A and B are shown apart, each in its own frame.
Chain A
Amino acid sequence: MFLSLWNYLKGYVIVEVSGYTLEKFMNLAIRHQNTFWNIKRKDGKIYLSTTIEGFKRLKPYAKKARCRMRIVEKRGLPFLTFRYRKRVMFSVGVFLFIGCIYLLSSFVWLVEVQGCERLNETEVIETLEESGYKAGRLKARLNLREAEQKLINTYPDIIWTGIKFEGTKLVVEISESVPKPTIHTENAPCHLVAKNDGLITYIATDKGMPGVKKGDTVKKGDILVSGSMQLGDEGGSLYLTHAKATVKAKTGYALEASMPLETVQKVYTNRVSTKCDLRLFDLRIPFLRSHTKEQYDDYDEVITVKQFKLTDQFPLPFYYEKEQKVEYTPYKQPIDEESAKEKLYGTLYDALLKKLGDEAQVIYHEVVYSKDDNKLVAKLQAIVEEDISEALYLTPQEMMPQSEVEGENE
């Protein structure tokens, strides 16, 4: 493969040798450091390939062996350049082409982000764009390390990023950090407060001073179990602890949802108008427009953008944009009230369960439907038994010993 390429660049000739002592000719030639390849024998003649210099050396051997030599074909770059030596513009074009390719490939034509899971890719691209890392910039002008630092500084979720060029692509690889787990400190003093209004149905205290008992009603934010406890039986000083308890209460929920009793169905007609643009940066070159001729009242717009690519790694700054308008006729269709009710009930109940979490139990629920100009409104009332305790950590001031506060008062 490489040898044949080398031969092509150096140029070679295919020679026809005829005569009676062809073997003698070959022996003579080989012995004097000549190299042949693709030697074929056909009808008493030998066709062989040899280098240009080698061919010039062959003449005396042919004479000695009484053979005749004739060049059948000249192949290779030297012959080609010789043939085109007078066509100046052609060679100019060749160099211009190579120059253009080189010039175009020294720009960035596409920014690609990999490894985004929680972050938004377009957001990352926009951030890069703000600091000048965007399509159309010279590769040599961009400081990638700086861009990496900038990304890390902007997004705390990124723990590592690697930016590199792949052809004319700017590839941004991102590693996101693992989300920080919420740390439950078992020792920090806290109160347990109510998350919601409710009626206490069950309370079991592990640690702390219970402030409520079964049957009490509480409001949101009320202290259920206090973290400050008395030392000893009576009159001891207070000390702070991490309150821990299971407090269940009946709470009420009200959710509302609505849906229209009519849907609009799109029945597509077969009429489509397309508009094609060739885009170079912001310059648009239209080459197919049937848009302007027809006006549709109702239509969906479908836009397809395709970037031209030399190879996968060499995207070019040309885009092909296809804008299609697909016409449809809208049909209003009434929905059966029963099925609408069922659907609303389903969504409401799902929403309730999602809000509650796993451990809560729905004790009672009721849905009221009402009609409001072509809309069905559903209201869900539910009574739920759930754990309503929520830890409220004490601030450092609250944690100060009580006596000191008293001292200040005096």
Chain B
Amino acid sequence: MKKEKSDKKKEWILDMMESFEIPKETVLDVPIISLVGDREIVIENFISIVEYGDEVIRLKTQCGEFTIEGKNLEARSMDSEHIQIKGKIQALSFGNRG
């Protein structure tokens, strides 16, 4: 019940942002995910790493658990704000909010 309420609040903020044409990610703490084909993915603004392997990488983000599946996945660089992953990407998915 409480969760729904906060969701509605967020929705309202989002609508406001849209009407003012302000980039959403500046206000909401959501991750920005950019893909280069199926070879490279950069995720900015993640919270923590849940699982790290060469076939599955799971990251905890504000929108829930973000799962990257593929082959030979390997993080090229990593710091507190962003992670750059290279490899053959096969599937991306958002899971339940942890």
Contacts and interface: CB of A to CB of B under 8 A. Distances in A.
Interface of A: 22-23, 26-27, 30-42, 46
Given A22-B52, A38-B74, 15 more contacts: A23-B50, A23-B52, A26-B78, A30-B48, A31-B48, A35-B78, A36-B75, A37-B78, A38-B75, A39-B74, A39-B76, A39-B78, A40-B54, A41-B74, A46-B52
Contacts of A23: 48-52
A31 B53 contact: no
Contacts of B6: none
A35 B54 CA distance: 19
Contacts of A37: 75-78
A236 B53 CA distance: 120
Contacts of B80: 30-33
A23 B76 CA distance: 16
A37 B80 CA distance: 12
Nearest to B47: A27
Interface of B: 48-54, 74-80
B79 A30 contact: yes
A41 B52 contact: yes
A36 B77 contact: yes
Nearest to B81: A30
A37 B48 CA distance: 16
Contacts of A32: 80
A35 B52 contact: no
A46 B75 CA distance: 11
A42 to B, nearest CB: 8
Contacts of A26: 49, 52, 78
B63 to A, nearest CB: 18
Contacts of A46: 52
Nearest to B57: A41
- Most chain B Cβ neighbours within 10 Å, of A27, A32, A39, A40: A39
28 contacts: A23-B49, A23-B50, A23-B51, A26-B49, A27-B48, A27-B49, A30-B79, A30-B80, A31-B48, A31-B80, A32-B80, A33-B79, A35-B77, A35-B78, A35-B79, A36-B75, A37-B76, A38-B74, A38-B75, A38-B77, A39-B52, A39-B75, A39-B76, A40-B54, A40-B74, A41-B52, A42-B54, A46-B52
Contacts of A39: 52, 74-76, 78
